[in-house]
Amino acid sequence: MNQTNRNTVLFAILTIGMVCLFLINLSLGSVSIPLKEVFKSLFGGTTSKETWHYIIVNYRLPKAIAAILVGMGLSISGLLMQTLFRNPLAGPYVLGLSSGASLGVATVILGAAFLPESLATIMLSSYGIVLASSLGSFLVLMAVLAVSYRLRDTMAILIVGLMFGSLTSAIVGTLTYFSTAEQLQKFTFWSLGNLGNLSWTSIGILFVCVLIGLFLSLFSIKPLNALLLGENYARSLGLNYKRTRLIIIFATSVLAGSITAFAGPIAFIGLAVPHIAKLVFQTSNHTILFWSTLLFGASIMLICDSISQVPGGDITLPINAVTSVFGAPIVIWLLVRKRKMIG
Amino acid sequence: MISTNNILTTSNLSIGYTSKAATTIIAENLNLNLQAGKLIALIGANGIGKSTLLRTITGIQKPLSGTILLNGKNIHETDALTLAQNLSVVLTEKLPPSNLTVFELIALGRQPYTNWIGKLTETDIAMVNEAMELTQISHLATKKHYEISDGQLQKVLVARALAQDTPLIILDEPTTHLDLLHKVALFKLLKKLTQETNKCILFSTHDIDMAIQLSDEMIIMTPETVVQDEPCNFISKGTFNTIFKDEHIVFDSEKGKFVIV
């Protein structure tokens, strides 16, 4: 079929595109490294300058891998939620997972003053922040799950997610009022998102979490396709709705929770990327959408990261600012242009 | 009525709703019998409980008491997958927005038979194509489901149920949004399907005149009772006059339709 050929070509372009973007991402930065040298460094050759190899292996490679993991994970969690909630505006943000993570981080950074000094030092280390963030999103997830168990209506869960978001920002706001300028700055930096500064150990943990989330999503492809007909038809096709919903919500929170913990809250990727995949591939079939969302997510995150590094410049823009500037107009444009397509 | 053709039988079935405060009984003592190769119409006034009955016998809603046997097995002890292989539905609800093509939509009917990722085998594709041919919508296969007319979409949904390859298909008011031409076409399609595929098709409708002419059996719901019989027997017994509690609506048994006096 014509459609199949078109998809094959698109997938080939996307895959090649992602690899190219990955290499370009490695070569760009405050110090520009020629692509040839990037290759050499990656495949065991010796680079012309010792420092280049050092920069790539210890700084740029973990950052590029983080970008790929973050892009893939957030985009897939957005795709899952948009189908589950039958709402084109659903995403990890909407369920309140990111707010939960923020609350956790705000509590340790801004609330450190209330802790005994020894404990405060531990909690303010990067591991303490990761732990607090994971705990925060996990707690919000459990609360959402508890509520969703009592509510049959998926739209209601969405509203509950929004309420948790408001609640956590209220608490964060209150904490802000009592904190010092230094604490505020630290929290603000975390909330702007950061893909760098991740050690190889952190990348390893993130990799495992994202892998678990993606694996669960892969097994949700068939139920997600059934859900395109609505809950009742899906049930009539033999779908165990409660179990499916639980798996999807769990996968989403593992993805969003771990990513937010390591990279900070990153806006719009989870919302915008699935729409781009749907628009380009003109389909609702999740077998295709799963892979295309993965590739688009990784590619777009790599682009955003490359931009945030301001090639040739000394400054680094916050990644969250770049994704927002890029994502918000796309979402508005999509909603205005193709009402029916979004689903 | 003991026959090997029985697909779904209910015995002493009571339907309705339970809440903390009270139990609302909609109908009691239902002994219905759905047989292979029969086109059966479910009729009754608005709000009489047709949807509740359909929801109960499709297993979406629990009965208050009594049993529902599907191929001799209680449907509440049957697992979801086996149920999906024996019973398919066409609902009144609107489909959520999506990019599904007609082919993809019908192919979803094959989900109870496909593997973990939902891959269509050659048999599945053949079944989908057959369903499209039976409903005469093959030419629509590559269209998006929101691009076609209501009448065509209704056929697509019937085709989806056909592709699910179940001995029993239940349709909730399939003719609601259709004009006369498309209503007749859909009824004739259902009639043809029961004859050619030996399936049992149960549908609820308000088009009583047409149901009398085309269905093999009818189930009539009135506030007092629920009865199942052949249309001609209902005419001779005068049952149709009990459906509407209005002296101005009278069933003319010679014309075989309702007249306003």
Tens digit of pLDDT for each residue in A133-176? 778 877 887 787 777 667 766 677 778 888 888 888 888 888 88
Question: Is B11 in contact with B34 (CB distance < 8 Å)?
Answer: no
Question: Is A8 in contact with A291 (CB distance < 8 Å)?
Answer: no
Q: Does B22 touch chain A (CB under 8 A)?
A: no
Query: Coil, helix or strand for A70?
Result: helix
Q: Does B87 touch chain A (CB under 8 A)?
A: yes
* 8 Å CB contact of A222 and B91: no
Q: Does B111 touch chain A (CB under 8 A)?
A: yes
Chain B's closest residue to A340, CA to CA, is B97
Q: What is the Rg, in whole angstroms, of the alpha carbon atoms belonging to chain B?
A: 19
> How far apart are alpha carbons A73 and A214 in whole angstroms?
7
Q: Does B88 touch chain A (CB under 8 A)?
A: yes
* 8 Å CB contact of A236 and B93: no
pLDDT of residue A342: 44
Q: Does A275 touch chain B (CB under 8 A)?
A: no
Helix or strand holding residue B30 (H, E)? strand B23-30
* 8 Å CB contact of A238 and B111: yes
Chain B's closest residue to A281, CA to CA, is B99
Chain B neighbors of A220, CB-CB under 8 A: none
Give which of A1, A2, A54, A4 is closest to A31, Cα–Cα.
Answer: A54
* 8 Å CB contact of B98 and A284: yes
Chain A's closest residue to B120, CA to CA, is A222
Q: Give pLDDT < 50 ranges for chain A.
A: 341-343
Give which of A268, A270, A267, A280 is closest to A338, Cα–Cα.
Answer: A280
Question: Is A255 in contact with A322 (CB distance < 8 Å)?
Answer: no
Degrees, nearest 5: CA angle A254-A259-A260: 105
> How far apart are alpha carbons A338 and B242 in whole angstroms?
50
Query: Coil, helix or strand for B232?
Result: helix
pLDDT of residue A316: 83
Give which of B242, B243, B244, B174 is closest to B202, Cα–Cα.
Answer: B174
- Please provide residue A116's backbone torsions phi and psi, each rounded to the nearest 5 degrees: -60, 150
* 8 Å CB contact of B100 and A341: no
Question: Where do the domains of chain A lie, and which CATH numbers do they carry?
Answer: 2-319+328-337 (1.10.3470.10)
- Please provide residue B249's backbone torsions phi and psi, each rounded to the nearest 5 degrees: -105, 115
**Distance to chain A for B229, nearest Cα, Å:** 28
Mean of per-residue pLDDT scores for chain A: 85
Question: Cβ contacts of residue A263 below 8 Å, gap of 6+?
Answer: A66, A70, A193, A194, A195, A198, A319
Question: Is A43 in contact with A23 (CB distance < 8 Å)?
Answer: no
Tens digit of each residue's pLDDT, chain B (261 residues): 445 688 999 999 999 988 877 888 999 899 999 999 999 999 999 989 999 999 999 988 899 999 999 998 999 999 999 999 999 999 988 898 888 999 999 999 999 999 999 999 999 999 999 999 999 999 999 999 999 998 899 999 999 999 999 999 999 999 887 889 989 989 999 999 999 989 999 999 999 989 999 999 999 999 888 999 999 899 888 888 888 888 888 888 887 788 888
**Distance to chain B for A277, nearest Cα, Å:** 12
pLDDT of residue A154: 67
Structure tokens at B29: 């003592």
Structure tokens at A122: 């531990």
* 8 Å CB contact of A284 and B83: no
Q: Does A222 touch chain B (CB under 8 A)?
A: yes
> How far apart are alpha carbons B195 and A341 in whole angstroms?
39
What is the separation, in whole angstroms, between the first and last Cα of chain A?
24
Question: Where do the domains of chain B lie, and which CATH numbers do they carry?
Answer: 6-260 (3.40.50.300)
Structure tokens at A235: 């049930």
Chain B neighbors of A86, CB-CB under 8 A: 96-97
Helix or strand holding residue B257 (H, E)? strand B257-260
For chains A and B, what is the number of CB pairs under 8 angstroms? 81
Calculate the CA B229 to chain-centre distance.
17
Measured from the Cβ of residue A125, the count of other Cβ atoms closer than 10 Å reads 11
Write the CA distances from A5 to A281, A309, A332, integer angstroms.
Answer: 12, 37, 31
Chain B neighbors of A90, CB-CB under 8 A: none
| CB burial of residue A232 (10 Å; 0-12, 13-18, 19+) | middle
Q: Which of B89, B95, B99 sits opposite A282 (nearest CB)?
A: B99
* 8 Å CB contact of A236 and B89: yes
